[in-house]
Amino acid sequence: MTRNVLGVLAALVALVTAALTLISTSSSPEDASVLPDQSFGFPLGSDTFGIAAGSSLPSLTEPELDQQLSGMAELGATWVRFDLDWSQIGAAGPGQYDWGVPDRLVAAVTAKGLQPLAILDYTPEWARAEGCTNGPACAPREAADFATFAAAATARYSGMGLRTWEIWNEPNLSQFYAPRPDPAGYTALLQAAYASIKAVDPGAMVITGGTAPAGTAQDGSTLTAKEFLAQVYLAGGQGSFDAVAHHPYTFPYSPATAYSGGAWSDLSALHTIMSSYGDGKKRIWATEYGAPTGGPADMAQKDVRRPYDGVSHVSEPLQATIAGNAIRRYQRIAWAGPMFWYSYQDSGSDASSIENFFGLVRTDGTRKPAYDAVRDAISPASEDK
């Protein structure tokens, strides 16, 4: 399909400029005057908490899976977020699915009384966009193929208690949506998946893929969360989601000391964009938030507003401070949905990657101080909410 490129760009510039103007005059993210939509039969408020378990959860052994899910339930979590990886489930070809791993996972999660949030993401080789060489992160060639998978997953799991779906993960990064972020292409996926899921389960909830903290790169490899959402609306995405998801990471700071203009303040900015389209009563879910306690560079030890050059991670006590502060602040946001901590357990000991150290517990299962900080903050008896 041909497009009037200059016209689209001009409209986009006008939209983003208007959105940023609204953002500069908007109320704080803790404005309690906003009343969220309560039409779904799920625990949706900012006082509900979940664990973003990461991609390792499906590969755990039965004892490991039981131990982690039991720990999440004991923590007081309501939700568990995990991938339903199309590139693995649908690898054999169109309409052919291997449900063995997700069957086990969904059954285990719901058996613990936890609410599942499934991320529908990643593309099998046969369905990838032409010329994309980025593996499973490649966008699908046809939105209809992705929608067929979404419908099949909904049909299989809605009766097992899985009725909440996140469409992709961090689609504003080329690392996860390749070869580069494409809001219009993503919107086509979102529209197709939303329609197919609702056709099978009209009471399901569909949320947008959680956007990552990022700037807009000159090479197009990343887009800001604000620009991405604005372009989704411009592409006609309104009406094809029930909530918006974002990942408001602030480490090595807590929200109390984080510099303005960062991922936490994006929550308010995104809500302002939504409100400008009449979607102010839809919630924003924080489907990932966390802070790593290991990494290849220096460690931050105090929650102070100062430049932390060369810092890759935080101390365990600072992780606990960040967790408690963030949860309590988030609970005061009237239009916020559930918040998810990434992740439950450290996934390794290799300090060359921070990804191994986001857990509330260490690789040996012992608890970091952040475990107790989270449990205290989400407890109904918690003070200073």
- Over 70: is that where the pLDDT of 204 sits? yes
Q: Domain range for residue 157?
A: 42-378
What's the average model confidence in pLDDT over 297-323? Answer: 94
- Over 80: is that where the pLDDT of 229 sits? yes
What's the average model confidence in pLDDT over 63-76? Answer: 97
Compute the distance between CA of residue 264 and CA of residue 247 in angstroms, rounded to an integer: 8
Is the residue at 155 inside a domain?
Answer: yes
Give SS3 for 147: helix
Name residues whose C-beta falls within 8 Å of residue 288's C-beta, 6 or more positions apart in sequence. 52, 81, 210, 247, 249, 340, 342
- The number of domains in the chain is 1
- pLDDT at residue 124 in the model: 99
What's the average model confidence in pLDDT over 131-149? Answer: 98
Is the residue at 50 inside a domain?
Answer: yes
Encoded tokens for 216: 């807009």
Is the residue at 6 inside a domain?
Answer: no
Instruction: Say if residue 155 is exposed, middle or buried (CB neighbours under 10 Å; 0-12, 13-18, 19+).
Output: middle
In the chain, pLDDT over 90 holds for what percent of residues? Answer: 82
- DSSP conformation class of 197: H
- pLDDT at residue 206 in the model: 98
Question: How confident is residue 55, by pLDDT bands cut at 50, 70 and 90?
Answer: confident
Give SS3 for 93: strand
What's the average model confidence in pLDDT over 358-363? Answer: 98
- pLDDT at residue 382 in the model: 58
> In which element (H, E) is residue 339 found?
strand 336-342
252 contacts 311 by C-beta, under 8 angstroms: yes
Is the residue at 118 inside a domain?
Answer: yes
- pLDDT at residue 38 in the model: 55
Encoded tokens for 358: 């986001």
- Over 60: is that where the pLDDT of 151 sits? yes
188 contacts 131 by C-beta, under 8 angstroms: no
299 contacts 351 by C-beta, under 8 angstroms: no
Question: How confident is residue 4, by pLDDT bands cut at 50, 70 and 90?
Answer: very low
Q: Within 10 A of 228 (CB to CB), how many other CB atoms are there?
A: 27
Name residues whose C-beta falls within 8 Å of residue 7's C-beta, 6 or more positions apart in sequence. none
Compute the distance between CA of residue 191 and CA of residue 52 in angstroms, rounded to an integer: 24
Name residues whose C-beta falls within 8 Å of residue 108's C-beta, 6 or more positions apart in sequence. 65, 66, 69
Pairing label, strands 49-52, 79-85 = parallel
Whole-number mean pLDDT of the chain?
90
What's the average model confidence in pLDDT over 59-63? Answer: 93
Unique residue bearing structure tokens 């809001």: 183
Instruction: Say if residue 72 is exposed, middle or buried (CB neighbours under 10 Å; 0-12, 13-18, 19+).
Output: buried
30-34, 73-77, 133-137, 244-248: range with lowest mean pLDDT:
30-34
- Over 90: is that where the pLDDT of 127 sits? yes
What's the average model confidence in pLDDT over 182-187? Answer: 99
Name residues whose C-beta falls within 8 Å of residue 14's C-beta, 6 or more positions apart in sequence. none
What's the average model confidence in pLDDT over 349-377? Answer: 97
Tell me: the pLDDT tens digits for 274-287?
999 999 999 999 99
Question: How confident is residue 37, by pLDDT bands cut at 50, 70 and 90?
Answer: low
Is the residue at 2 inside a domain?
Answer: no
> For position 116, which CATH number holds?
3.20.20.80
68 contacts 359 by C-beta, under 8 angstroms: no
Whether the CA torsion 27, 31, 37, 42 is positive or negative: it is positive
The strand ranges marked E within 170-303 are 205-210, 243-246, 283-289, 298-300
Region of residue 289 (left: phi > 0; alpha: psi -120 to 50; beta: else): beta
Compare 166 and 2 and report the one with higher pLDDT.
166
Is the residue at 238 inside a domain?
Answer: yes
What's the average model confidence in pLDDT over 340-369? Answer: 97
Is the residue at 16 inside a domain?
Answer: no
Compare 227 and 259 and report the one with higher pLDDT.
227
What's the average model confidence in pLDDT over 66-83? Answer: 97
Tell me: the pLDDT tens digits for 230-239?
999 999 999 9
CA-wise closest residue to 59 among 92, 109, 93, 102: 102
CA-wise closest residue to 221 among 188, 176, 263, 266: 176
Question: How confident is residue 23, by pLDDT bands cut at 50, 70 and 90?
Answer: very low
CA-wise closest residue to 264 among 276, 247, 279: 247
Is the residue at 289 inside a domain?
Answer: yes
